[in-house]
């Protein structure tokens, strides 16, 4: 019998390989991120000051919207060719599958997050380099928070009627703390405030990550059975 992490690694490697060959989700998300930048620009107008002020909120709103599209698909691929049954048949703790799926999603959403930051820098002329180390930390913690609940809820809604409707409806309210914390911390980082001024938001974000991750690991078994 192979170890827990080996099994998680197999799931993650499989997902990354599928995504690398088809590029289905990533291509769509790149295009979607670009569209979002246009939509934000049209919604707020050309005023540079206003765009700069709204940047932290828009950045994370865009990220959450992209996650709703990207993460909701996590388990759809398993519905073809009876892959779902094969997942159920894997021996040992099922949460290894959760860890593997989460790792794949983290990679995908980190790529989208970096892309969004690059697009904002390019089109809205935001100077991200000043707050870079802090912004990177916010990005990692925020992505982990969104992806850990998102992966769990994606498994939950994969076999439910009106899946594409239910996934965002369930995920968005739960993600409110993550959204608030990332926006506030990004605001602080971009404004060049001292780290201590927004460290409490990062602490909240870290606490949320731990809670979601532990809850996901403990409850994933119950979602996959049957």
Spell out, one character per residue from 143 to 172, where the chain touches another protein: x when CB under 8 A holds, - when not. ------x--x---xx-xxxx---x--xx-x
Quote the tokens at residue 60: 């994370």
Which distant-in-sequence residues (6+ apart) come within 8 Å of 181 by Cβ? 142, 201, 202, 204, 205, 208
Position 119 contacts another protein (CB under 8 A): no
Q: Report the distance separating Cα 86 and Cα 67, nearest Å.
A: 26
User: Per CB under 8 A, which region of 10-18, 107-115, 120-128, 210-218 contacts another protein?
Assistant: 210-218
Quote the tokens at residue 31: 């295009």
Q: Of 112 and 208, which CB lies nearer to another protein in the complex structure?
A: 208
How many C-beta atoms lie closer than 10 Å to residue 183's C-beta? 20
Instruction: Report the nearest approach of another protein to the CB of residue 93 (Å).
Output: 15
φ and ψ at residue 76, rounded to 5 degrees: -65, -35
Instruction: Report the nearest approach of another protein to the CB of residue 24 (Å).
Output: 26
Q: Of 59 and 115, which CB lies nearer to another protein in the complex structure?
A: 59
User: Per CB under 8 A, which region of 32-40, 46-54, 119-127, 211-219 contacts another protein?
Assistant: 211-219
């Amino acid at each position: 019998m192979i170890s827990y992490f080996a099994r998680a690694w197999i799931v993650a490697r499989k997902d990354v390989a599928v995504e690398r060959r088809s590029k289905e989700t990533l291509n769509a998300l790149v295009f979607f991120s670009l569209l979002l930048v246009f939509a934000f620009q049209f919604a707020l107008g050309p005023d540079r000051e206003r765009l700069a002020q709204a940047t932290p909120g828009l950045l994370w709103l865009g990220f959450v919207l992209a996650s709703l599209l990207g993460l909701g698909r996590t388990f759809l691929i398993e519905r073809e060719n009876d892959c779902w049954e094969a997942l159920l048949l894997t021996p040992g703790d099922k949460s290894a599958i959760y860890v593997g799926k989460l790792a794949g999603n983290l990679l995908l959403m980190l790529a989208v997050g970096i892309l969004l930051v690059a697009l904002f820098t390019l089109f809205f002329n935001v100077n991200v380099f000043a707050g870079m180390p802090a912004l990177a930390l916010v990005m990692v913690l925020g992505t982990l928070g969104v992806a850990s609940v998102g992966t769990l809820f994606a498994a939950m809604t994969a076999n439910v009627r009106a899946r594409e409707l239910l996934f965002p409806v369930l995920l968005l309210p739960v993600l409110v703390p993550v959204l608030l914390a990332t926006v506030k911390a990004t605001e602080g980082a971009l404004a060049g405030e001292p780290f201590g001024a927004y460290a409490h938001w990062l602490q909240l974000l870290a606490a949320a990550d731990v809670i979601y991750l532990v809850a996901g690991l403990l409850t994933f078994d119950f979602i996959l059975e049957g």
